[in-house]
Chain A
Amino acid sequence: MTDVRLPRAGFAGSLSDRLASIVIRGSAFLAILSLVLIFIFIGKEALPILTSQEVQKEASLSTLFFPQPAKPGARPQYMWQPVSEVPKYSVLPLFVSTLKVTVIAVFFAIPLAVAAALYTAEFAHPWVREVVKPAIELLAGIPSVVIGFFCLMVLAGWLQQVFGWTYRLNAVTAGLGLSLAVIPIVYTVAEDAFSSVPQTFREGSLAMGASSWQTAWRVVLPAAMPGVLAACVLGFGRAIGETMIVLMASGNAAILSLSPVDSIRTFSATIAAELGEVVVGSAHYHVLFFLGAALFVLTFLLNLFGHWWVGRLQKKLQGAS
């Protein structure tokens, strides 16, 4: 690396330097600003659930989170039936569905993607790497509706034939489809993390007599752990918000169950399926925005937690070295 003199931030330099700095800073703040504005918009549309008397007659926090009888006198149940004489908006089945499919997707995607990244970064021939890496990254370019359609038409049939499930469209089918969307993201970020582990680490390990497998597993993987973790958090975020795949492959029945072979209805699929139909300002409309806000908060908390964890790991690694 040659010696580069960096201009002090926000000061002096030529006019073009200063302009560039303003533009870059501006775009950074624009990203944050739009994020805040989006959240304010969603929050504002979700708020009437807490404040408006009229909306609360149809949907209040207690009907969202507690079981409700289908008809007067019937056993209270968790149900999602927005188009009904007595509209029922139970969030719990949707919440459990969302978590279920995300966990399944991540369960398949993360080990596969991290192992693939470790392989291409540590073991693969350069030419294998040149083929595999772009191929996996190309997977990210497949529109999710195409993956969803593939799951609906092909994957669901295969899985049903092999396992004999009653429902073709279920959490596992959708989760496997989702993992196809998650793998390239996790892979790309994890591969970068492995590649940026200094070569000296590997050389040192090999010089001490470790095999290349021991080097990869005990030296490179721990050193790249913050990056790998960041990859996992990104993958989780993608899985939880993905819409088209679950809309097409999950069957969209709002059943409260923990079985992975039952049909599921996620937050994102519910919003996508129903938001186009609702009359602006109705209780149903505000409930959908409430779901959106919940999804937003969930993703935000997840990222915050991931960020904190990555930071902690980094500190630990730096302290150790």
Chain B
Amino acid sequence: MPGALIVVTLIVSGCGGGSGTGAKAVTVKGSDTMVILGQRWAETYMGEHPGTRIQVTGGGSGTGIAALINGGTDICEASRPMKDKEKEQVRSRHGKDVKEIPVALDGVAVYVNESSPIQSLSEPQIKGIYTGKITNWRDLGGKDQKIVAYSRENNSGTYVFFKEHVLGNEDFAREIQTLPGTAAVANAVAKDLASIGYGGIAYATGIRAIAVKRDENSEAVHPSLETVRNGQYPLSRSLFFYTIGEPDGEVKAFVDWVLGPEGQKICEAVGYYPLVRK
């Protein structure tokens, strides 16, 4: 019937609102990089503490921080430090300072296709690729082939980390393709001979993570447990929990457990690095 032709396609993704937190449900929301880690923590913790419910969801660090500001989560997982502007928003909405708790270490790996001859790149070279100044592999010692660069979507903590640390806050070139999730980036790089991508080290299977030099003259360092922990690998970062004010009750118990030996052991099992104990 032509009378019923009105089609509405409405897409609303990831509503961060709602505070339907039950008496004992702790909500954890944020970084996609950390969602596997968070879930593993929650499962193990819930196994040991029946009666506590912990809900872990992803969506990206930005999503988690927005949820924290809007009051939609107890703990925000973030793979980048919160910006001052965001901390200010928490203060003005909730009247409390945000509490930053580093919980694990991670390295951002730069991937190329397995068949690529490229073994290592320097940070300025990677920056050149992603800002559009270097567009051919020939300029980097590879074949005469246009570089196809993949990035994460701009709601990802990995995106922000990369933009700040590698691009020095310059804009990505317009030709850079963005994909939802590190897994999608890894898949795309695995399928594309002339491509380059970046993401968490934990995802690096089926593609090759290249060694990174801080600048032209320094040594090329492969991402590994050792090089991330001792700070030699240039693209490493801390992963954080954020809470509004000091954590208390169930939340505090969970955070303390995560920082304890059991929680830190899980970091390693999932492919991240435990914090360096001082």
Chain A residues, Cβ within 8 Å of B13? 271-272, 275-276
User: Chain A nearest CB: distance from B233 CB in Å?
Assistant: 25
Which listed segment binds A: B41-49, B57-65, B262-270? B57-65
* CB interface residues, A 271-321, toward B, < 8 Å: 271-280, 292, 295-296, 299-300, 303, 306-307, 310-311, 314
Q: Decide if B9 touches A242 in the complex (CB within 8 Å).
A: yes
Tell me the minimal C-beta distance from B198 to chain A in angstroms. 15
A79 touches B177 (CB 8 A): no
Report Cα–Cα, A280/B148, bound state, in Å.
34
Contact B191 A35 (CB under 8 A): no
Majority-rule SS of A interface residues: helix
A252–B154 Cα distance when bound, in Å, is 11
With a cutoff of 8 Å between Cβ atoms, the chain A residues found around residue B163 in the complex are 83
A residues in contact with B14, CB < 8 Å: 275-276
Query: How far does the alpha carbon of A20 sit from the alpha carbon of B169 in the complex, in Å?
Result: 63
Evaluate contact between A85 and B169: CB separation under 8 angstroms.
yes
Q: Report B-chain residues with C-beta under 8 Å of the C-beta of A169.
A: 177, 188
Chain B, residues 165-205, CB within 8 Å of chain A (1/0): the string is: 00001011011111110001001100110100000000000
Is B123 an interface residue when CB atoms closer than 8 A count as contact?
Answer: no
- Residue on B nearest A35 in the bound complex, by CB: B8
Q: Bound state CA distance, A241 and B191, in angstroms? A: 28
* Residue B7, interface by CB 8 Å: yes
- Cβ of A248 < 8 Å from any Cβ of B? yes
In the complex, what residues of B have CB within 8 A of residue A233's CB?
A: 5
Q: Residues of A contacting B194 with CB < 8 Å?
A: 166
Q: CA–CA, A54 to B2, complex, Å?
A: 44
**How many residues in A have their beta carbons less than 8 Å from beta carbons of B?**
63
Check B11 against A273 for contact (C-beta < 8 Å).
no
- Is the pair A253, B60 in contact by a Cβ cutoff of 8 Å? no
Which of A168, A226, A279, A300 is within 8 Å of B6, CB to CB?
A300
Q: CA A306 – CA B86 in complex, angstroms?
A: 46
- Return the CB mask of A166-204 against B: 1 if under 8 Å, else 0: 111100000000000000000000000000000000000
Whether the pair A274, B171 counts as a contact (CB closer than 8 A) is no
**B70 CB–A CB distance under 8 Å:** yes
Are B184's CB and A152's CB within 8 A?
Answer: yes
What 0/1 pattern do residues 86 to 109 of B give for CB contact below 8 A with A?
100100000000000000000000
Closest Cβ of chain B: how far from A76's Cβ, in Å? 13
Cβ contact of A248, chosen from B2, B148, B174, B179, cutoff 8 A: B179
**B60 x A84 contact (CB < 8 A):** no
Which B residues, 1 to 56, have Cβ-Cβ distances below 8 Å to chain A?
Answer: 2, 5-14, 16
Q: Which residues of A contact B191 (CB under 8 A)?
A: 153, 156-157, 168
A-B contact count (CB 8 A): 140
* A100 CB, min distance to chain B CBs, angstroms: 15
Question: Are A278 and B66 interface neighbours, CB within 8 A?
Answer: yes
Q: Is A234 an interface residue (CB 8 A)?
A: yes
- Does A263 touch B at the CB level, under 8 Å? yes
Residue with the highest number of chain A CB atoms closer than 10 Å, among B10, B60, B69, B194: B10
Residues of A close to B176: CB separation below 8 A: 253
Contact B11 A271, beta carbon cutoff 8 Å: yes
B10 touching A38, Cβ below 8 Å: yes
A93, A168, A234, A296: the one within 8 Å of B8 (CB): A296
> Which residues of chain B are within 8 angstroms of A48 by Cβ–Cβ distance?
none
Most buried by A among B154, B155, B192: B154
Q: Taking the nearest CB of chain A, how far is it from the CB of B97, in angstroms?
A: 18
Q: Are A238 and B9 in contact (CB under 8 A)?
A: yes
Q: Is B114 an interface residue (CB 8 A)?
A: no
B242 in the interface (beta carbon within 8 A)? no
Are B5's CB and A253's CB within 8 A?
Answer: no
Find the A residue at minimum CB distance from B12.
A275
| A20 CB → nearest B CB, Å | 19
Residue B252 is within 8 A (CB to CB) of chain A in the complex = no
Does A254 touch B at the CB level, under 8 Å?
yes
Task: List, sorted by A's number, 21 A–B pairs whose CB atoms are closer than 8 Å.
Answer: A77-B174, A81-B171, A81-B172, A167-B177, A226-B2, A234-B5, A238-B9, A242-B9, A253-B175, A265-B178, A268-B9, A272-B11, A272-B13, A273-B153, A273-B154, A275-B12, A276-B14, A276-B60, A276-B62, A278-B66, A296-B10
Q: Using CB atoms and an 8 Å cutoff, list the residues of chain A in contact with chain B.
A: 35, 38, 70, 77, 79, 81-85, 88, 93, 152-153, 156-157, 160, 166-169, 226-227, 230, 233-234, 237-238, 240-243, 247-248, 251-255, 263, 265, 268, 271-280, 292, 295-296, 299-300, 303, 306-307, 310-311, 314
Sorted nearest first, the 7 A-B pairs with minimum C-beta distance are: A241-B9, A277-B155, A276-B14, A277-B62, A251-B177, A237-B7, A83-B154
